[in-house]
A and B are shown apart, each in its own frame.
Chain A
Amino acid sequence: MENILSMLIFFPAAAAVVGFLIDKNSMRQFGVVVTVVEFFLALLLWYYFDTNEAGLQFVKSFPIISAYGINYIVGVDGISLFLIIMITFMTMIALIGLNEKKGEKNLIITMLFLEMTMVGVFASMDVIMFYVFWELTLIPMFYIVGFWGAEKRFYAAIKFFLYTFTGSLIMLIGILYFGYIYYQTTGNWSFSLQEWNNLILPFNLQFWLFLAFFLGFAVKVPMFPFHTWLPLTHGQSPTIGSVILAAILLKMETYGFIRFSLSLFPDASVYFVGFMAVLGIIAIIYMAMLAYAQEDMKQMIAYSSISHMGVITLGVFALNIEGISGAVFLMIGHGIVSGALFMCIGVLYDRRKTKMIKDFGGLAHNMPMFALVYIVVLMASIGLPLTIGFVGEFLSLLGFFKYSPILTFIASLTIVLSAIYMLSMYKRTFFGKLAKPENKTMKDIFGRELVALGSLTILIIALGIYPKVVLEPLNNSVTQLTKIMEIKAVNEDTREKLRSLNSIGEAK
């Protein structure tokens, strides 16, 4: 099982290449089989993963450009393990629930390529390789949004591409500059994250590099004020595109914060906590208000996604074990929940070809099963206890409470606000009289849709009741991360701050 990570990365790509040979009527089955195998590979990875070990496992490396210190390095720890499993799971579910008829074959091949790049992002431990996979996600997404999207798809696709491309290129300068500093201090070129982690930087360098990385990540999160591309892209992209975008692509950047910013620039991270928290809170409150104002269901979910990403940002920059584990758990939870939400909207859109809330009403009469699934997913999104959303939100906010109770109080409005817009949307869609004649003929979910949404619902409840399976391995890695931050900090006050942030639950 040495090479299982490389298999995980390149198996979908190989399958995609072979997929060109398959007849277009049989393509869906092929896609489902490949993603199921991929999911089982990911479960196998979990099986062989040593949960007591906090560091990287399954590490493999070989040089690619040795003159410039670029290597192929893959590895996985408790943080990335579950994100990889979540990716493979969501891709599988998205393909099972796929209802797109136009150009199905191309869509599935594109999805398989996309899966490769996504797993690659989370498994890469070489920064240049990470960057390569990170940028490669743009091409399939550009195609999915631009070809299968709605009317304004060209504009949306190009806007999406340009925004994220700009951010990541600035990050590239940061990466190259870091490599140069590494070369100056050690005399060797290297872009390996593990080796970078041994380097302790002075504060002003950390400051600028943190900003460079921040721009790359912030555009994709997306953080206020770089968020404008996301609702547009979501609104225009097809169901499967939204599912992947919300569930996985948005998680790459918060993962980037945890993996790169925190451990490489501990002092700058502590310095920027307030700034990040303010951005996070603006996202939470402002985006929730925008979400309430939306008439288009999909746009609403898109804004609510940005709002929840604010909570994740807060969790990450709580800089303690609870906050970071909570953020990672919320990333997984939000991935599943927002994926499920977009699939639900996809179900409605397939039947009625509209996403406007006002076009529906009283659907609970003829779609009882769907109404049940939808409310469970909605509750999870709001963060009701015993659902997957609660655990992550609670832990993130608990972690941040240590930094500032007042800000945490404002941030916890997220639960109230999301309850307002989610429930009012639910009421207008499902309750009341079944007035519109077009809605009367709508069938309840069945078959593939039921399998896809049903398994998501089960997972939402199961992980909400027993999150320990995920949290325990996660905690080990996160504990190690916070220790590394403390050791690497150059300023004494940073260390003090980190120590005080990490004292939840300790005896006074």
Chain B
Amino acid sequence: MLEPIKITLDSLNLGTVAPMAIAIAGALGILLTDIFNKDKHKSLYVVLVALFLIFDLFTLLAFSGEERGFFDLMLIDGISKLSQCIIIIGSIFFIFFSLSKLRFQEFRYAEFFALYLFAVAGFQFMVSSDSLILIFVGLETSSLAIYTMIAMHNRMVSIEAAVKYFTMGALAAAFFVFGSMMLYAVTGSVELAQMAQILSEDGFLVVENYANYAMVLIGFVFMFAAIGFKLSLFPYHIWVPDVYQGSTSAMAGFLSVIPKMAGFVVALRFFEIFIHANDIIIQTMLYVTVVLTMTIPNLIALQQTDIKRMLAYSSISNAGMAMAAILIGTHQSTVALFLYWILFTITNFGAFGMLWLNRGKDFDNKSTPYSFKKFSGLAQISPFTASMLAMFLFTLTGLPPFSLFWGKMYLVASAVNASYIGLAVIIIVNSVISAYYYLRPISYMFLRDPETEFKETKFMQNGSTPIKSVVGFTVILTIISVLLIDPLLNIIDLYVSNSGF
């Protein structure tokens, strides 16, 4: 007779899923509200989302218990908490973009906001587990929500973007499952910690153990490709520019930072096993990918004439730089990764926010509202808008004393300290290349006179007070960032060392 399965509620450690449960409850609440009340204004849902996310954040911060729960599926360790904080706070910021002045199709549906919360919950699951199954479920939950949200914009380009993203995402999901299967076949576990143990104890990562080594490598390559799709690493980055261009600036900004934060944590947990194994093939593969991810999109960005598309390429290149931190694999570089990504979130939020504010309705599927030409002479029409956008672009260039400089500096320092001088030089060279394309829109805005064909263009058409205030807030954060670095470093350091990276 089978032994009856006895599970106490205590052993589940429900606290570990409480934060995500709140986000999901919020989403369901929004859906219910919509069923019983038709045509409510979007501001209701925006505030509800913000409220639930804040609630979510506080539950997370209040969490203090056993870090494992649900039969070891959940793992709320330091980096999980830290990345969840970044994801939630970032999402709170981004939801305010929905309070735009112009009316857009997607914001008329309550489902958009419910999906937003589902996506956030999915990211939270992704970062707080070391079981490949739960990571996969989290990844798919969030990705499916995002495909839908992009398509809800209801323009041809958006639907194209959504389909493109969906196809690529489906391929990545398949890779993920296939890679997990391979690794499971070799090690008999889907939990990263156990997998690492078995791999190192049984010597699966040595060439002598040929049959298994090949299996591990194949598994790694598939997983790498899957993560690469999510993080937009070269050569899996091709979907990025089209998807960003098809989605609204608000959505593109969200896509460029929040999902990648979750992706980086997964990458951190997964690659850690292999980086410390000192396997030459895997090391080379990572190194080459990181270098190409930084360089190739930078070179393509030089040719762009549209700010949003340029920012899409720049965010790929920035993801490459953050990925370099994972490659280096020291404690300092992990701290650098989080610092870099926090500052990059602030900066990219500001940059895409400025684009979102300046979005008009006077363009069709073929044209773009963000061409360089349209912005020429902006400094004379609206000096304040121009200065703010220019400041964010200078920040992305990595000019001191603005926020991203400190992230880049810390990253380069961690590379130098780990004797990756070559990598440090490559990062620097890429900063210079990127300086050129960031300078181009600035030179259009500040150095040229307004173009005659765009004389009638109105700027800040989409600007409502809430959006302006959050963007203004990030402007202040960017300027005073030098004072934020010290506390940020202390917090990150604490959390990262808690989880042993």
**A positions within 8 Å CB-CB of B:** 63-68, 106, 128, 131-132, 135-136, 138-139, 142-143, 146-147, 153-154, 157-158, 161-162, 165-166, 169-170, 172-173, 176-177, 179-180, 183
Contact = CB atoms under 8 A, between A and B. Distances in A.
Residue of A139, A143, A165 with most chain B CB atoms under a 10 A cut-off: A165
A132 B400 contact: yes
Contacts of B447: 143, 146-147, 153-154, 157
B424 A173 contact: yes
Contacts of A157: 443, 447
Given A68-B489, A170-B428, A158 B399 contact: no
Contact of A147 (B416, B446, B493): B446
A216 to B, nearest CB: 11
B410 A135 contact: no
Nearest to B394: A139
Contacts of B399: 135-136, 138-139
B288 interface: no
Contacts of B435: 161-162, 165
B432 A158 contact: no
B287 to A, nearest CB: 18
Interface of B: 379, 383, 394, 397, 399-401, 405-406, 409-410, 412-413, 416-417, 421, 424-425, 428, 431-432, 435-436, 439, 443, 446-448, 482-483, 485-486, 489-490, 493
Contacts of A176: 409, 412-413, 416, 424
A65 B481 CA distance: 11
B315 to A, nearest CB: 21
A161 B482 contact: no
Nearest to A183: B417
Contacts of A128: 409
B400 A177 contact: no
17 contacts: A63-B486, A68-B485, A128-B409, A132-B405, A136-B401, A147-B446, A157-B447, A158-B443, A162-B439, A165-B435, A169-B432, A170-B428, A173-B412, A173-B428, A177-B416, A180-B416, A180-B417
A295 to B, nearest CB: 26
A183 B394 CA distance: 30
Contacts of B485: 64-65, 68
Q: Is the interface of B mostly helix, strand, loop or mixed?
A: helix
Given A65-B486, A138-B399, A173-B412, 16 more contacts: A64-B482, A65-B406, A67-B489, A68-B413, A131-B400, A135-B400, A139-B394, A146-B443, A154-B448, A157-B443, A161-B439, A162-B436, A169-B431, A172-B428, A177-B416, A183-B417
Nearest to A132: B400
Contacts of A136: 399-401
Contacts of B486: 63-67
A176 B408 CA distance: 12
Contacts of B409: 128, 172, 176
B421 A173 contact: yes
List the 8 closest A-B pairs by CB distance, nearest first: A132-B400, A146-B447, A67-B489, A176-B413, A169-B428, A65-B486, A180-B417, A166-B432
Residue of A68, A131, A172 with most chain B CB atoms under a 10 A cut-off: A172
A67 B416 contact: no
Nearest to B428: A169
Contacts of B416: 173, 176-177, 180
Contacts of B383: 106
A250 to B, nearest CB: 20
A182 to B, nearest CB: 11
A156 to B, nearest CB: 10
A106 B446 CA distance: 11
A341 B29 CA distance: 74
Nearest to A170: B428
B343 to A, nearest CB: 13
Nearest to A149: B447
Contacts of A179: 413
Contacts of A142: 439
Nearest to A136: B400
A158 B436 contact: yes
A204 to B, nearest CB: 14
Contacts of A67: 486, 489-490, 493
A138 B405 CA distance: 15
A365 B394 CA distance: 50
Contacts of A131: 400
A165 to B, nearest CB: 5
A138 B390 CA distance: 14
Contacts of A154: 443, 447-448
A138 B417 CA distance: 28
A180 B394 contact: no
Nearest to B489: A67
Residue of A65, A138, A170 with most chain B CB atoms under a 10 A cut-off: A65
A70 to B, nearest CB: 8
A497 B401 CA distance: 41
A301 to B, nearest CB: 24
A162 B399 CA distance: 12
Nearest to B493: A67
Contacts of A161: 435, 439
A130 to B, nearest CB: 10
A138 B383 CA distance: 19
Contact of B413 (A64, A153, A180): A180
A146 B432 CA distance: 19
A136 B391 CA distance: 12
Given A131-B400, A146-B443, A162-B436, A65 B482 contact: yes
A139 to B, nearest CB: 6
Contacts of B446: 143, 146-147
